[in-house]
Amino acid sequence: MSFAHTFLPVAADLPPDVDVDAIVAGLASDHVYAPDDVESEIATLVAEARDDGIQLSVVVIPENGRHDSLLRNLATEVASHEHGTVLVVSPDWAGTYSDTINRVKLEAGEDHAKYTASPVIATRNFIDELEAPAVSWTAATSVLLAGTVLAVAGLYAVKARRAKSAPPPAEPPSRDPVPSGSSR
């Protein structure tokens, strides 16, 4: 029994009845591969996104396939020919790949593109999420750190002021020393 097949790379599964070469050829003119009834609307959205600096290509496939990861696999395969960001949408799912946008942002965009009524709405939702301002965690951390430092400094100042204005502590009553010659 040989386990050599375990260590060999396996081609990623793609959605059924998908021709990657036809998709890449279809993307050449307007960066959109979609049915004719929605292609022009999606092409307008893609052109706007490209004007805003997002190198987007959109692929619309008619069926979901057996798992949503197939769409990400297809986006990755298409991106090996068409660089930038690739969005693949089906009736219920979305898959993405990008060589310029981080995975967290892509996943957020995917979430907004899933379960929409049309690929046009899915594309619009995806672009809107990519263009939304991101939280700067460095700025948020800096503000929290500065607030902590100010709170500690303020508490120190209050404590120092109280210590300065407080009356000196009373001296403890003195004990009479025991005479040296007496016994207890």
Query: Residue 19 pLDDT > 80, yes or no?
Result: yes
pLDDT at 43: 97
Structure tokens at 145: 């750190």
Q: Which two tokens stand for residue 99?
A: 């060589």
Q: What is the pLDDT of residues 126-142, one digit of tens each?
A: 999 999 887 778 888 99
What integer pLDDT is reported at residue 184 of this predicted model?
A: 53
What's the whole-number average pLDDT of the chain? Answer: 87
* R_g of the chain, CA atoms, integer Å: 33
How many domains does one find in the chain? 2
Tell me: do 158 and 67 sit in the same domain.
Answer: no
DSSP per-residue letters across the chain: ---GGGGS--PPP--TT--HHHHHHHHHHHSEE--HHHHHHHHHHHHHHHHTT--EEEEE-S---S-THHHHHHHHHHHTTS-SEEEEE-SS-EEEEESSS-HHHHHHHHHHHTT-SSHHHHHHHHHHHHHSPPP-HHHHHHHHHHHHHHHHHHHHHHHHHHHHHSPPPPPPPPPPPPPTT---
Whole-prediction pTM value?
0.70
- On whether residue 176 sits in a domain, the answer given is no
Q: Let me know whether 66 and 20 are in one domain.
A: yes
**Domain check: are 76 and 157 in the same one?**
no
Can you give the pLDDT at residue 182? Answer: 58
Q: Which two tokens stand for residue 76?
A: 């990755």
Amino acid 112: pLDDT = 94
Indicate if 141 and 71 belong to the same structural domain. no
Of the listed ranges 7-21, 103-117, 137-151, the least confidently predicted one is 7-21
Q: Are residues 75 and 123 in the same domain?
A: yes
- Residues 86 and 125 reside in one and the same domain: yes
Question: Domain range for residue 72?
Answer: 4-131
